[in-house]
Amino acid sequence: MSQIIGYLTSSAGYICVDSNIVYADEKSTLNNKLYSGDRLLIASAGLAFGIDIIEGFLEKSKKFGIETVEDMENYFLSIANNQYRQFIFNYGKKLKETLIRLYFIFIAFDKQGKLSMGLVGAEGDEPLKRFEIKNIVCAPRRLSIEMALTHISNYEEGYLVNFFKKSMEKISLVDKGVKPPFQLGIIQDNGSIKKFVL
């Protein structure tokens, strides 16, 4: 499975993701899984179908004015969930059970204008659901990364970029499903977005 790390500070949000994509027939390729819209970052892990859902979301977000993290959660729990359920109905029996999982992590502004992070996902044939999170997300869970993030007090961008790069490199050494290049997106509290290839 892919790896996503999300981190939220008081002034910025970070999403780091690898580039490995595994399709239903278990073939894999390297591709972009980190997307940005107007004042938002979003990434997917799990089924390659998640990328299709994100691309559809970005089109619809412009049309329907989906702007806040709450709007995004509502979209993924309704429209994206229907798409995922239809995909599972059509292809679920053809997929290995270990491949049937999908997560979306996103950072945007909440209704109060503060940066906020959300996580929606599902495993198996369950519907997409919202996960309660704070300021750190690893999907799948990597306790060593999560613990290290809880102890970071240096929020300087260069330090954090280096931390994400080294963390993803370590994960890729022990998990053959996590492959470089790694992508990092940073959204600042003024809405500006930067993306890097690590």
135: domain CATH number is: 3.60.20.10
Domain that holds residue 148: 4-197
- pLDDT of res. 177: 86
Whether pLDDT at 25 is above 80: no
- pLDDT of res. 141: 86
pLDDT 10s digits, 157-193: 999 999 999 999 999 999 988 999 999 999 999 999 9
- pLDDT of res. 5: 96
Mean pLDDT over the full length of the chain = 91
Supply the pTM of this predicted model: 0.92
Peptide bond into 140 cis (omega under 30): yes
The structural domain count of the chain equals: 1
Q: Give the other-Cβ count within 10 Å of 103's Cβ.
A: 23
